[in-house]
A and B are shown apart, each in its own frame.
Chain A
Amino acid sequence: MLDVSIAYNRYKFLGHEFLTWLWFIMDVDPACILKAESDMVSLEVDNRIVLENSFDNRIENIRIKGDEAGFEEAKLSLQKGGVVTELNFSLKTGDHEWKFNIKGESLNISSLKSPETGKIEKKEDIEGAVLEKIYLYEKVVLLVENLYKQFITIRVSSKWKNETIPLIKKWIKS
Protein backbone atom coordinates (compact mmCIF):
# COMPACT_ATOMS: atom_id res chain seq x y z
CA MET A 1 0.00 0.00 0.00
CA LEU A 2 1.09 3.57 -0.68
CA ASP A 3 2.50 5.77 2.06
CA VAL A 4 -0.50 7.12 3.98
CA SER A 5 0.24 10.83 3.66
CA ILE A 6 0.97 10.50 -0.08
CA ALA A 7 -2.20 8.44 -0.60
CA TYR A 8 -4.27 10.98 1.37
CA ASN A 9 -3.28 13.89 -0.87
CA ARG A 10 -3.06 12.01 -4.14
CA TYR A 11 -6.50 10.41 -3.88
CA LYS A 12 -8.56 13.03 -2.08
CA PHE A 13 -10.23 13.70 -5.44
CA LEU A 14 -11.98 10.34 -4.95
CA GLY A 15 -13.79 11.75 -1.92
CA HIS A 16 -14.84 14.83 -3.88
CA GLU A 17 -16.08 12.69 -6.76
CA PHE A 18 -17.93 10.47 -4.28
CA LEU A 19 -19.85 13.43 -2.83
CA THR A 20 -20.58 14.80 -6.32
CA TRP A 21 -21.84 11.37 -7.41
CA LEU A 22 -23.86 11.04 -4.21
CA TRP A 23 -25.61 14.36 -4.71
CA PHE A 24 -26.37 13.34 -8.30
CA ILE A 25 -27.77 9.94 -7.22
CA MET A 26 -29.84 11.46 -4.38
CA ASP A 27 -31.31 13.88 -6.91
CA VAL A 28 -32.05 11.56 -9.83
CA ASP A 29 -32.30 8.04 -8.39
CA PRO A 30 -33.05 8.13 -4.65
CA ALA A 31 -34.31 4.51 -4.78
CA CYS A 32 -30.73 3.41 -5.54
CA ILE A 33 -29.58 5.03 -2.30
CA LEU A 34 -32.21 3.26 -0.24
CA LYS A 35 -30.56 -0.10 -1.07
CA ALA A 36 -27.59 0.91 1.08
CA GLU A 37 -29.55 0.76 4.35
CA SER A 38 -32.50 -1.56 4.88
CA ASP A 39 -34.80 0.64 6.99
CA MET A 40 -33.84 4.01 5.53
CA VAL A 41 -36.71 6.16 4.36
CA SER A 42 -34.73 9.01 2.87
CA LEU A 43 -31.28 10.51 2.52
CA GLU A 44 -31.15 14.12 1.43
CA VAL A 45 -28.79 17.04 1.24
CA ASP A 46 -29.70 19.05 4.32
CA ASN A 47 -28.59 22.66 4.59
CA ARG A 48 -24.98 22.92 3.53
CA ILE A 49 -22.86 22.29 0.44
CA VAL A 50 -19.24 23.29 -0.06
CA LEU A 51 -17.72 23.16 -3.54
CA GLU A 52 -14.25 23.72 -4.90
CA ASN A 53 -13.45 25.05 -8.31
CA SER A 54 -9.88 25.32 -9.54
CA PHE A 55 -8.91 27.35 -12.56
CA ASP A 56 -5.81 29.31 -13.63
CA ASN A 57 -3.89 27.80 -10.66
CA ARG A 58 -6.41 29.35 -8.26
CA ILE A 59 -8.83 27.53 -5.98
CA GLU A 60 -12.26 29.00 -5.36
CA ASN A 61 -14.44 27.70 -2.52
CA ILE A 62 -18.19 28.17 -2.61
CA ARG A 63 -20.24 27.62 0.55
CA ILE A 64 -24.00 27.46 0.42
CA LYS A 65 -25.70 27.31 3.79
CA GLY A 66 -29.13 27.84 5.28
CA ASP A 67 -32.33 25.90 5.93
CA GLU A 68 -34.08 27.58 3.02
CA ALA A 69 -31.03 27.54 0.75
CA GLY A 70 -31.56 26.66 -2.90
CA PHE A 71 -28.68 24.83 -4.51
CA GLU A 72 -28.82 26.56 -7.92
CA GLU A 73 -25.50 28.27 -7.24
CA ALA A 74 -23.96 24.93 -6.34
CA LYS A 75 -25.14 23.53 -9.68
CA LEU A 76 -23.69 26.60 -11.39
CA SER A 77 -20.36 25.89 -9.76
CA LEU A 78 -20.48 22.31 -11.05
CA GLN A 79 -21.18 23.69 -14.52
CA LYS A 80 -17.96 25.70 -14.22
CA GLY A 81 -16.03 22.54 -13.43
CA GLY A 82 -16.37 22.44 -9.64
CA VAL A 83 -16.63 19.40 -7.38
CA VAL A 84 -18.41 18.91 -4.07
CA THR A 85 -15.96 18.94 -1.15
CA GLU A 86 -18.39 18.84 1.78
CA LEU A 87 -22.03 17.84 2.17
CA ASN A 88 -24.47 18.02 5.04
CA PHE A 89 -27.02 15.20 5.12
CA SER A 90 -30.35 14.39 6.67
CA LEU A 91 -31.04 10.65 7.08
CA LYS A 92 -34.51 9.46 8.06
CA THR A 93 -35.71 6.05 9.16
CA GLY A 94 -39.27 5.87 10.50
CA ASP A 95 -39.63 8.62 13.14
CA HIS A 96 -35.91 9.05 13.57
CA GLU A 97 -33.60 11.58 11.97
CA TRP A 98 -29.82 11.89 11.87
CA LYS A 99 -27.94 14.93 10.63
CA PHE A 100 -24.28 14.80 9.72
CA ASN A 101 -21.54 16.29 7.64
CA ILE A 102 -19.05 14.50 5.38
CA LYS A 103 -15.81 16.07 4.22
CA GLY A 104 -14.73 14.62 0.89
CA GLU A 105 -10.95 14.64 1.32
CA SER A 106 -11.04 12.61 4.57
CA LEU A 107 -14.55 11.08 4.51
CA ASN A 108 -14.65 12.08 8.16
CA ILE A 109 -18.06 12.33 9.77
CA SER A 110 -18.62 15.54 11.72
CA SER A 111 -21.49 17.39 13.44
CA LEU A 112 -23.31 14.06 13.75
CA LYS A 113 -26.60 14.49 15.58
CA SER A 114 -28.39 11.23 16.22
CA PRO A 115 -31.97 10.73 17.45
CA GLU A 116 -32.48 11.57 21.08
CA THR A 117 -31.71 8.86 23.62
CA GLY A 118 -32.88 8.28 27.19
CA LYS A 119 -31.49 10.51 29.94
CA ILE A 120 -28.68 9.24 32.14
CA GLU A 121 -29.85 9.53 35.71
CA LYS A 122 -27.44 7.22 37.50
CA LYS A 123 -24.04 5.67 36.84
CA GLU A 124 -25.61 2.32 35.93
CA ASP A 125 -27.38 4.00 32.97
CA ILE A 126 -24.08 4.83 31.23
CA GLU A 127 -23.45 1.39 29.76
CA GLY A 128 -26.90 1.24 28.15
CA ALA A 129 -26.55 4.80 26.85
CA VAL A 130 -23.18 3.98 25.25
CA LEU A 131 -24.58 0.87 23.55
CA GLU A 132 -27.56 2.87 22.27
CA LYS A 133 -25.27 5.57 20.89
CA ILE A 134 -23.01 2.98 19.23
CA TYR A 135 -26.10 1.49 17.54
CA LEU A 136 -27.22 4.93 16.34
CA TYR A 137 -23.78 6.03 15.10
CA GLU A 138 -23.30 2.69 13.36
CA LYS A 139 -26.31 3.46 11.15
CA VAL A 140 -24.47 6.44 9.68
CA VAL A 141 -21.03 4.79 9.57
CA LEU A 142 -22.37 1.71 7.74
CA LEU A 143 -24.43 3.86 5.38
CA VAL A 144 -21.37 5.88 4.37
CA GLU A 145 -19.29 2.72 3.98
CA ASN A 146 -21.94 0.99 1.86
CA LEU A 147 -22.45 4.03 -0.36
CA TYR A 148 -18.70 4.40 -0.81
CA LYS A 149 -18.44 0.72 -1.74
CA GLN A 150 -21.13 1.27 -4.40
CA PHE A 151 -19.25 4.29 -5.69
CA ILE A 152 -15.83 2.63 -5.80
CA THR A 153 -17.19 -0.45 -7.57
CA ILE A 154 -18.56 1.81 -10.32
CA ARG A 155 -15.54 4.15 -10.25
CA VAL A 156 -13.03 1.39 -11.10
CA SER A 157 -15.25 -0.11 -13.80
CA SER A 158 -15.88 0.92 -17.41
CA LYS A 159 -19.43 1.86 -16.33
CA TRP A 160 -18.02 5.06 -14.80
CA LYS A 161 -16.72 6.39 -18.08
CA ASN A 162 -19.36 4.95 -20.38
CA GLU A 163 -22.55 5.46 -18.37
CA THR A 164 -22.12 7.44 -15.15
CA ILE A 165 -20.09 10.42 -16.37
CA PRO A 166 -22.46 11.16 -19.31
CA LEU A 167 -25.45 11.00 -16.92
CA ILE A 168 -23.76 13.29 -14.38
CA LYS A 169 -22.86 15.73 -17.16
CA LYS A 170 -26.48 15.76 -18.31
CA TRP A 171 -27.66 16.33 -14.71
CA ILE A 172 -25.21 19.18 -14.18
CA LYS A 173 -26.44 20.91 -17.33
CA SER A 174 -30.12 20.44 -16.41
Chain B
Amino acid sequence: MRLLSSSVSITRYKVKGKIQGSLIRTIMDGLKKNSITEIDNQPMGKAAGWTSFDNPYLPDFETSSCVIGAHFVFSLRIDKKNIPPKTIKKYYTVEMAKRLAESGREYFSRNEKSQIKEYVVNALSLSIPATPNIYDIIWNYDGSSLWFFSNQKAANEDLETLFSKSFGLTLIRLFPYTMADLASGITDKERDLLSTISPTKFMD
Protein backbone atom coordinates (compact mmCIF):
# COMPACT_ATOMS: atom_id res chain seq x y z
CA MET B 1 0.00 0.00 0.00
CA ARG B 2 1.30 3.43 -0.93
CA LEU B 3 1.78 6.06 1.77
CA LEU B 4 0.43 8.86 -0.43
CA SER B 5 -2.89 7.04 -0.98
CA SER B 6 -6.11 8.55 0.33
CA SER B 7 -6.52 5.68 2.80
CA VAL B 8 -3.66 3.76 4.41
CA SER B 9 -3.00 0.99 6.93
CA ILE B 10 0.02 1.12 9.21
CA THR B 11 1.80 -1.60 11.16
CA ARG B 12 4.23 -0.09 13.65
CA TYR B 13 7.58 -1.61 14.59
CA LYS B 14 10.34 -0.93 17.06
CA VAL B 15 13.80 -1.44 15.55
CA LYS B 16 16.12 -3.30 17.89
CA GLY B 17 19.83 -2.59 17.51
CA LYS B 18 22.00 0.07 15.90
CA ILE B 19 24.09 0.03 12.76
CA GLN B 20 27.85 0.04 13.23
CA GLY B 21 29.87 2.24 10.85
CA SER B 22 28.51 4.56 8.18
CA LEU B 23 24.71 4.64 8.54
CA ILE B 24 23.67 5.76 5.07
CA ARG B 25 26.23 3.60 3.27
CA THR B 26 25.24 0.49 5.28
CA ILE B 27 21.54 1.03 4.61
CA MET B 28 22.05 1.74 0.91
CA ASP B 29 24.23 -1.40 0.63
CA GLY B 30 21.53 -3.48 2.36
CA LEU B 31 18.90 -2.11 -0.02
CA LYS B 32 21.03 -2.69 -3.12
CA LYS B 33 22.06 -6.23 -2.18
CA ASN B 34 18.48 -7.23 -1.47
CA SER B 35 16.63 -5.27 -4.11
CA ILE B 36 13.84 -7.01 -6.03
CA THR B 37 14.87 -9.30 -8.85
CA GLU B 38 12.59 -9.76 -11.84
CA ILE B 39 11.07 -13.23 -12.05
CA ASP B 40 9.25 -12.81 -15.37
CA ASN B 41 10.48 -15.53 -17.76
CA GLN B 42 11.81 -17.42 -14.71
CA PRO B 43 10.24 -20.54 -13.19
CA MET B 44 10.01 -18.92 -9.70
CA GLY B 45 6.53 -18.20 -8.33
CA LYS B 46 7.44 -15.43 -5.88
CA ALA B 47 10.12 -12.84 -5.16
CA ALA B 48 10.42 -10.24 -2.40
CA GLY B 49 12.92 -7.40 -2.33
CA TRP B 50 13.46 -3.69 -1.77
CA THR B 51 12.57 -1.13 -4.35
CA SER B 52 12.71 2.65 -4.68
CA PHE B 53 9.74 4.54 -3.25
CA ASP B 54 9.54 6.93 -6.20
CA ASN B 55 10.32 4.43 -8.95
CA PRO B 56 9.15 1.00 -7.75
CA TYR B 57 9.13 -0.70 -11.15
CA LEU B 58 12.68 0.33 -12.00
CA PRO B 59 14.50 0.32 -8.65
CA ASP B 60 17.69 2.33 -8.65
CA PHE B 61 19.51 2.68 -5.36
CA GLU B 62 22.70 3.77 -7.14
CA THR B 63 21.52 7.22 -8.13
CA SER B 64 18.34 7.91 -6.13
CA SER B 65 18.38 8.72 -2.43
CA CYS B 66 16.01 7.09 0.03
CA VAL B 67 16.42 9.84 2.65
CA ILE B 68 13.52 12.25 3.12
CA GLY B 69 13.87 14.63 6.06
CA ALA B 70 14.97 12.55 9.05
CA HIS B 71 13.53 9.36 7.56
CA PHE B 72 14.57 6.55 5.29
CA VAL B 73 11.75 6.02 2.79
CA PHE B 74 11.76 2.97 0.54
CA SER B 75 9.43 0.13 -0.40
CA LEU B 76 9.08 -3.62 -0.19
CA ARG B 77 8.00 -5.19 -3.47
CA ILE B 78 6.52 -8.66 -3.52
CA ASP B 79 6.08 -10.14 -6.99
CA LYS B 80 3.87 -13.18 -7.20
CA LYS B 81 2.64 -15.31 -10.05
CA ASN B 82 -0.94 -16.30 -9.52
CA ILE B 83 -1.80 -19.28 -11.68
CA PRO B 84 -5.50 -20.13 -11.41
CA PRO B 85 -5.99 -23.72 -10.08
CA LYS B 86 -8.28 -24.49 -13.03
CA THR B 87 -5.48 -23.57 -15.46
CA ILE B 88 -3.08 -25.87 -13.61
CA LYS B 89 -5.66 -28.66 -13.69
CA LYS B 90 -6.18 -28.27 -17.45
CA TYR B 91 -2.48 -28.41 -18.37
CA TYR B 92 -1.80 -31.16 -15.81
CA THR B 93 -4.56 -33.33 -17.30
CA VAL B 94 -3.25 -32.74 -20.86
CA GLU B 95 0.35 -33.47 -19.82
CA MET B 96 -0.69 -36.64 -17.98
CA ALA B 97 -2.59 -37.95 -21.00
CA LYS B 98 0.38 -37.20 -23.26
CA ARG B 99 2.88 -38.98 -21.01
CA LEU B 100 0.60 -42.00 -20.48
CA ALA B 101 0.24 -42.35 -24.25
CA GLU B 102 3.99 -42.01 -24.80
CA SER B 103 4.90 -44.53 -22.10
CA GLY B 104 2.13 -47.02 -22.86
CA ARG B 105 1.37 -47.22 -19.13
CA GLU B 106 -2.10 -47.12 -17.57
CA TYR B 107 -1.27 -44.99 -14.53
CA PHE B 108 1.52 -43.15 -12.74
CA SER B 109 2.63 -43.41 -9.13
CA ARG B 110 1.84 -40.60 -6.68
CA ASN B 111 5.45 -39.43 -6.87
CA GLU B 112 5.36 -39.31 -10.69
CA LYS B 113 2.07 -37.38 -10.63
CA SER B 114 3.61 -34.88 -8.24
CA GLN B 115 6.62 -34.43 -10.58
CA ILE B 116 4.29 -33.87 -13.54
CA LYS B 117 2.38 -31.23 -11.58
CA GLU B 118 5.64 -29.51 -10.64
CA TYR B 119 6.71 -29.55 -14.30
CA VAL B 120 3.37 -28.02 -15.36
CA VAL B 121 3.52 -25.28 -12.69
CA ASN B 122 7.11 -24.41 -13.69
CA ALA B 123 6.21 -24.32 -17.39
CA LEU B 124 3.21 -22.07 -16.72
CA SER B 125 5.32 -19.84 -14.42
CA LEU B 126 7.66 -19.15 -17.34
CA SER B 127 4.84 -17.78 -19.44
CA ILE B 128 2.90 -15.84 -16.79
CA PRO B 129 4.15 -12.40 -15.65
CA ALA B 130 4.36 -11.76 -11.91
CA THR B 131 1.91 -9.38 -10.22
CA PRO B 132 3.82 -6.75 -8.23
CA ASN B 133 2.59 -5.50 -4.83
CA ILE B 134 4.30 -2.49 -3.32
CA TYR B 135 4.33 -1.64 0.38
CA ASP B 136 5.97 1.58 1.53
CA ILE B 137 8.22 1.91 4.54
CA ILE B 138 9.15 4.89 6.69
CA TRP B 139 12.08 4.23 8.97
CA ASN B 140 12.89 6.77 11.65
CA TYR B 141 16.38 5.52 12.51
CA ASP B 142 17.02 7.92 15.42
CA GLY B 143 13.65 7.10 16.96
CA SER B 144 14.17 3.32 16.38
CA SER B 145 10.72 3.15 14.83
CA LEU B 146 9.44 1.93 11.49
CA TRP B 147 6.04 2.19 9.84
CA PHE B 148 5.04 -0.44 7.32
CA PHE B 149 2.10 0.51 5.17
CA SER B 150 0.22 -2.77 5.28
CA ASN B 151 -1.49 -4.92 7.89
CA GLN B 152 -1.28 -8.08 5.76
CA LYS B 153 0.28 -10.90 7.77
CA ALA B 154 2.27 -12.42 4.88
CA ALA B 155 3.67 -9.03 3.78
CA ASN B 156 4.65 -8.22 7.38
CA GLU B 157 6.44 -11.55 7.71
CA ASP B 158 8.34 -10.96 4.45
CA LEU B 159 9.34 -7.51 5.71
CA GLU B 160 10.63 -8.85 9.04
CA THR B 161 12.73 -11.53 7.33
CA LEU B 162 14.18 -9.27 4.64
CA PHE B 163 14.90 -6.42 7.08
CA SER B 164 16.90 -8.68 9.38
CA LYS B 165 18.81 -10.16 6.42
CA SER B 166 19.56 -6.74 4.91
CA PHE B 167 20.55 -4.67 7.93
CA GLY B 168 21.27 -7.18 10.72
CA LEU B 169 18.61 -5.49 12.89
CA THR B 170 15.47 -6.98 14.41
CA LEU B 171 11.98 -5.59 13.89
CA ILE B 172 9.63 -5.97 16.85
CA ARG B 173 6.01 -5.62 15.83
CA LEU B 174 4.06 -3.36 18.19
CA PHE B 175 0.88 -5.02 19.48
CA PRO B 176 -0.77 -4.87 22.92
CA TYR B 177 1.94 -6.75 24.83
CA THR B 178 5.02 -5.33 23.08
CA MET B 179 3.60 -1.80 23.22
CA ALA B 180 3.04 -2.17 26.96
CA ASP B 181 6.47 -3.71 27.49
CA LEU B 182 8.59 -1.55 25.18
CA ALA B 183 6.75 1.68 24.45
CA SER B 184 4.73 2.61 27.52
CA GLY B 185 7.50 3.67 29.88
CA ILE B 186 6.39 1.30 32.64
CA THR B 187 8.63 0.50 35.61
CA ASP B 188 10.16 -2.92 36.28
CA LYS B 189 7.60 -3.46 39.03
CA GLU B 190 4.75 -2.64 36.62
CA ARG B 191 6.35 -4.96 34.04
CA ASP B 192 6.23 -7.79 36.59
CA LEU B 193 2.55 -7.05 37.20
CA LEU B 194 1.94 -7.00 33.44
CA SER B 195 3.25 -10.55 33.12
CA THR B 196 0.70 -11.82 35.64
CA ILE B 197 -2.48 -10.00 34.64
CA SER B 198 -5.50 -11.84 33.33
CA PRO B 199 -8.58 -10.65 31.38
CA THR B 200 -11.06 -8.38 33.17
CA LYS B 201 -14.69 -9.36 33.48
CA PHE B 202 -16.60 -6.13 32.99
CA MET B 203 -19.89 -7.81 33.84
CA ASP B 204 -20.53 -10.45 36.54
Is B3 a contact partner of A133 (Cβ separation < 8 A)?
A: yes
Is A130 a contact partner of B176 (Cβ separation < 8 A)?
A: no
Q: Which residue of A lies closest to B200 (CB)?
A: A17
B171-199: contact bitstring with A at CB < 8 Å (1 yes, 0 no)? 01111111111011110001001110101
Give the contacts of B128-157 with A (CB-CB under 8 A).
Answer: 138, 147, 151
Is A81 a contact partner of B201 (Cβ separation < 8 A)?
A: yes
Is B138 a contact partner of A134 (Cβ separation < 8 A)?
A: yes
Main secondary structure of the interface of A (DSSP, over half): helix
Nearest chain A CB to B123's CB is how many angstroms away? 37
Inter-chain CA distance A7–B147, complex, in Å, is 21
List residues of chain A with CB within 8 A of the CB of B201: 81
Inter-chain CA distance A12–B186, complex, in Å, is 18
Contact A130-B73, Cβ < 8 Å, known A12-B176, A149-B185 = yes
Q: Does A95 contact B (CB under 8 A)?
A: no
Chain A interface bracket (under 10, 10 to 19, 20 to 34, 35 or more) = 35 or more
Inter-chain CA distance A146–B57, complex, in Å, is 38
Q: Does A143 contact B (CB under 8 A)?
A: no
What 4 A-B pairs come out closest when comparing CB atoms?
Answer: A11-B177, A14-B176, A15-B176, A110-B9
**Extra A-B contacts (10), CB below 8 Å, given A152-B184, A160-B200:** A2-B177, A107-B176, A112-B7, A112-B8, A130-B3, A131-B68, A133-B4, A137-B10, A141-B12, A155-B197
A residues apposed to B, CB below 8 Å: 1-2, 4, 7-8, 10-15, 17-18, 20, 78-81, 83, 103-113, 120, 123, 126-127, 129-131, 133-134, 137, 141, 145, 148-149, 152-153, 155-157, 160, 165, 168-169, 172
13 sampled A-B residue pairs with Cβ under 8 A: A10-B177, A12-B176, A20-B202, A109-B10, A127-B68, A129-B4, A131-B68, A133-B4, A152-B179, A152-B180, A152-B184, A155-B180, A160-B200
